[in-house]
Amino acid sequence: MSEERFTGSFTQQEPIPEAGIAAALAVLRHGRLHRYNEAPGEIAETALLEEEFAALTGAKYCLAVASGGYALGCALRAVGLAPGEPVLTNAFTLAPVPGAIAAAGGKPVFVEVTEDLTLDFADLAAKTKATGARLLMLSHMRGHLCDMEALAALCDHLGVTIIEDCAHTMGAAWKGVPSGRQGLVGCYSMQTYKHMNAGEGGFLISDDAEVMARAILLSGSYMLYAKHRAAPGPEVFDRVRMETPNVSGRMDNLRAAILRPQLPTLAERVDRWAALYQTLEAGLQHTPGLRLVTRPTEETYVGSSFQFQLPGWSDARIGLFLTRCIARGVELKWFGADEPVAFTSRYDHWRYAAPQSLPQTDRILKGLVDMRLPLTFSPADVALIGRIIRAEALAVGQGPEPETVVPPRVQ
């Protein structure tokens, strides 16, 4: 009997919509790629994009920038991070988050994560008291939202300001409130693997006029900030424009042109991601040895990736399981590997941060398996992926303990 094999690509996204291609060609033909380079009477694509994203999220202000990582660093500077100041953040996140903190002069303080991959509130309170931190860079890593109302109340009580890393939650919501709207600033990424694709790109949104004026000046507006349409008035800039350094990281009109037609299709794509996610979830339910993440009913999530735990499995068993899945075309990533691989690294690999001990996170990441779900997959593809994972989890989980650890080959 021949085994089923999956042949799709886990890194292949959908094409740019035709309207985005046409708009990009128009920008290339007129040549005004710089966001402040406008013909008389023209409104730049970048300024329109910001206005449209502010409307989509309900934010007063929006700034488009060069990357998600830039947005995070810009937000920290705009809220007044002082040199050497501690910044709380999830121990389970991606390298651009602690990187942005370190590059802006802050010190990452990692907070434990829960079994459901969200911030541990008890550890947040303890670390806040121990370090005196007043800033939390909350990473909604892999799209898992914590109880945002409870967190807002706790941070209020602790005197902690929230900056949200929404790289994986553009289009998500907690009790209907868009992700990115509970913090003082919400930051997003439009890098190819996120929920809108311009190759690279980022957004900051906020209702705080002074924070946004500083962010716009920081991003490299020179004295051209009046060309922004989702920005506070000139009186706010007057207060901060001479004291805010320029740290250039602007969005350009080419990428804005590619992005604008993707905004109105976000909700429909979130629905398609949900269908993929739920198909895989149904296929893996009740697999012995495999634990699924519980998604709260208050959460509207974007199923652009999928995680599960292999709790208590040895490294050798997990290595064999991953190797067998990869051999059948199912590209899984593992957060328990000793060495960072491709995009996947762990807090103890980030040696520019002070060494910290997070036993709960260590235990959770040791058994954590992760995969992308690009929209080029169909529900039938995802059902097949589920059958392969389930079969291998059963075979390896219930088979003999492997003698040696075989590190899986991940591309």
Ligand X SMILES: *Cc1c(COP(=O)(O)O)cnc(C)c1O
Distance CA 343, CA 321 (A): 20
Q: Say whether residue 180 binds ligand X (CB under 6 A).
A: no
Which of 20, 69, 73, 180 contacts ligand X by CB under 6 A?
A: 69
Q: Does 139 bind ligand X (CB under 6 A)?
A: yes
141 contributes a contact to ligand X by CB under 6 A: yes
Among 46, 93, 253, 361, binds ligand X (CB under 6 A): 93
Binding to ligand X in span 181-220, by CB under 6 A:
189, 191, 202
Q: Whole-number minimum distance, CB 242 to ligand X, in Å?
A: 29
CA angle 7, 8, 13 (to 5 degrees): 165
Query: For residues 74 and 247, is the Cβ–Cβ distance under 8 A?
Result: yes
224 contacts: CB under 8 Å, gap ≥ 6: 36
Query: Of 1-9, 65-73, 115-123, 395-403, which part binds ligand X (CB under 6 A)?
Result: 65-73
What distance in Å separates the CA atoms of residue 235 and residue 408, rounded to the nearest whole number?
57
Stretch that binds ligand X, among 7-15, 63-71, 121-129, 327-335 (CB under 6 A): 63-71
CB of 30 to ligand X, least distance (A): 27
Which H/E stretch holds residue 111? strand 107-111
Backbone angles phi, psi at 43, to 5 degrees: -110, 130
Q: Which range in 49-57, 94-102, 274-282, 395-403 contacts ligand X by CB under 6 A? A: 94-102
Binding flag, residue 165, ligand X (CB under 6 A): yes
90 touches 119 (CB < 8 A): yes
Note if 333 is an active site residue: no
Cα 386 from Cα 382, distance rounded (Å) = 6
Structure tokens at 135: 């800033």
What is the C-alpha separation between 100 and 105, in angstroms, rounded? Answer: 9
Note whether 232 binds ligand X by CB under 6 A. Answer: no
Does the protein bind ligand X through residue 108 (CB under 6 A)?
no
For position 249 contacting ligand X by CB under 6 A, the verdict is no
Q: Cβ of residue 329: shortest distance to ligand X, in angstroms? A: 24
Of 19 and 375, nearer to ligand X (C-beta) is 375
The pairing of strands 185-189 and 161-165 is: parallel
The C-alpha angle with vertex 254 and arms to 251 and 257, in degrees rounded to 5, equals 100
In the complex, least distance from residue 99 CB atom to ligand X, rounded to whole angstroms: 9
Scanning 92-100, 251-259, 314-322, 391-399 for contacts with ligand X by CB under 6 A, the matching segment is 92-100
90, two tokens: 């999830």
Catalytic residue among 194, 227, 333, 366: 194
CA distance 257 to 344: 31
* Residue closer to ligand X (CB basis): 135 or 393: 135
* Identity of the residue, 94 or 117, whose beta carbon is nearer to ligand X in the bound complex: 94
**80 backbone φψ class: left, alpha, beta (φ>0; ψ -120 to 50):** left
Residue ranges in contact with ligand X by CB under 6 A: 67-69, 93-94, 96-97, 139, 141, 165, 167-168, 189, 191, 202
What residues are labeled active site?
Answer: 194
